[in-house]
Amino acid sequence: MANFIFYCNGTKLTGFGHLSRCLNIARAISSIKHDSHILFFGEFDRFSCERIAKFGFKVASKHFVFVDNMTVIADSYHLSFSSLFELKATGINLCIIDDFDQYNYDFLDLIINFRFNAETLCNVTPAHRLGLRYFSFAEELRPLRQRRLGLESINTNKIKTILVFIGGDDRFDVANKVVHALDRLLIDKEIILLDRHTRSIFLKNNAYKSLAFIDDMSVVYQQADLIINGGGLTKYEAGFCLIPNCAVSQTYEQLQDTLELAKAHLTFDLGLAESATIESLAESIRQFMHTEIKLQRNAMKTFYKQNSTEQLAQEIIKVSNE
C-alpha cells in the first residue's frame, strides 16, 4: 500500500510546475526513506505520466481510495475547504503546498510555503514550514549551481543565449512579445523559446530556436546565460542555478511574489503580462542588463541553500511518523 500520495495535476492546460516540485519532493523522500511507497493522484497527460514513470513512481487510478495512515501532499490552487476537510476526515496525514496562504486551516498537519519572505506574508502557525530553506529543486540542478559558483560574475558582454520560458498558460501571448523585444535590444545572440507548441518566429538580429516542453529542465538551463520567465517556479529555479533572470508575471499573485524577490535582487520585475508591450519589455530588459546582473548573483549565492529539498522531505517524513 502506498504511504505517500502526491495530489496534483500536470497537463498542458494546467502547466507542469506543481508536478515538477512534487516530483522533486518525492525523489527526496524516496532517497531518504528507502521503504517508502509513492503514488501520484490527479490529472496527468501523457508527458506527465512519462515523467512520473521515469523516476519509478506510479499514477493512481481515478477510483483510488484514501485511507488512514497515508500521508497526502496536496499541491493545487483549486482545492476547497470542504474537499480538504473530507480528505483529512479519512484519517490521513495531510500536507499542503500553499504559495499564497490560501489554505491556512487548523486541521492540516503541514503547510509548506517556500516563497521568499513567506515568513512575513503568512499568518504563521506551528504547522507552517516557510521560506527558501524549504524550496524543492530537481537534483539535476545541483551540479549547475556548483559549476556556476566557480565561474566569474557574468556581465552583459558574456551573455550569448537567452531562454524565454513563460510556462504552460501564456494567456496574453507575452512570449512572442518578449522574443521580439530581445531582438530589438541584442545582436548575434541565440534566443530559445520553450513553449507548449513550437513556434516559427522570424528575427532580424538574432538566431532563434523553438523547443517544446521537456522533462529535464536542467538541459535547457545549462545553455542559458539569462532567463526571462512567466513569474512562477522558473524564477526560483533560475535563482538556485545562479542564472540572471527577469519575470513577466501572469497573475497579480505572481507579481506580488516577483516584487518580493526583486527587492532582494533575486529576480527583476517586468510587470504584468497583460499590460506588457514590446516597447515596455525592451526598455525594462535594457535596464536590467545594465544594472542588476551582478547584484543578482551575490543575492542568489546567499539566499538559496543546497539542502532545501532534503529539509522539506524530512519534515514530511516526520509528519508521516507521527
For the stretch 239-290, pLDDT in tens is: 999 999 999 999 999 999 999 999 999 999 999 999 999 999 999 999 999 8
Give the E-state strand segments of the chain in sequence order.
4-7, 38-41, 58-59, 71-74, 93-97, 110-113, 128-130, 161-165, 190-194, 207-211, 226-229, 245-249, 268-272
Measure the CA–CA gap between 58 and 115, rounded to whole angstroms: 28
Instruction: Compute how many other C-beta atoms are within 10 angstroms of the C-beta atom of residue 35.
Output: 6
% of the chain residues with pLDDT over 70? 99
For the stretch 214-226, pLDDT in tens is: 878 999 999 999 9
For the stretch 67-121, pLDDT in tens is: 988 999 999 999 999 999 999 999 999 999 999 999 999 999 999 999 999 999 8
Q: Taking Cα atoms as reference points, which of 309, 176, 164, 146 lies closest to residue 224?
A: 164
pLDDT band at 5 (very low <50, low <70, confident <90, very high): very high
Measure the CA–CA gap between 310 and 32, rounded to whole angstroms: 8
Spell out the CATH class of 141-303: alpha beta
Domain positions in the chain are: 4-135+306-321, 141-303
Instruction: Compute how many other C-beta atoms are within 10 angstroms of the C-beta atom of residue 317.
Output: 16
For residue 62, the model assigns a pLDDT of 86
Measure the CA–CA gap between 304 and 307, rounded to whole angstroms: 9
Measure the CA–CA gap between 213 and 196, rounded to whole angstroms: 6
- The residue that leads in pLDDT, 278 or 293, is 278
SS3 182: helix
Measure the CA–CA gap between 157 and 288, rounded to whole angstroms: 14
Taking the domain 4-135+306-321, which CATH number applies? 3.40.50.2000
Side-chain half-sphere of 150: how many Cα atoms within 13 Å?
5
Handedness of CA 187, 266, 232, 275 (dihedral sign): negative
- Residue 198 pLDDT exceeds 90: no
**Strand order, beta sheet including 93-97:** 58-59, 38-41, 4-7, 71-74, 93-97, 110-113, 128-130
For the stretch 139-189, pLDDT in tens is: 999 999 999 998 877 777 789 999 999 986 788 999 999 999 999 999 999
Q: Taking Cα atoms as reference points, which of 173, 193, 174 lies closest to residue 270?
A: 174
Q: Copy the grid coordinates of residue 210.
A: 523553438
Measure the CA–CA gap between 76 and 102, rounded to whole angstroms: 11
Q: What DSSP state is assigned to residue 215?
A: S
SS3 128: strand
pLDDT band at 12 (very low <50, low <70, confident <90, very high): confident
For residue 2, the model assigns a pLDDT of 62
Mean per-residue pLDDT of the chain: 93
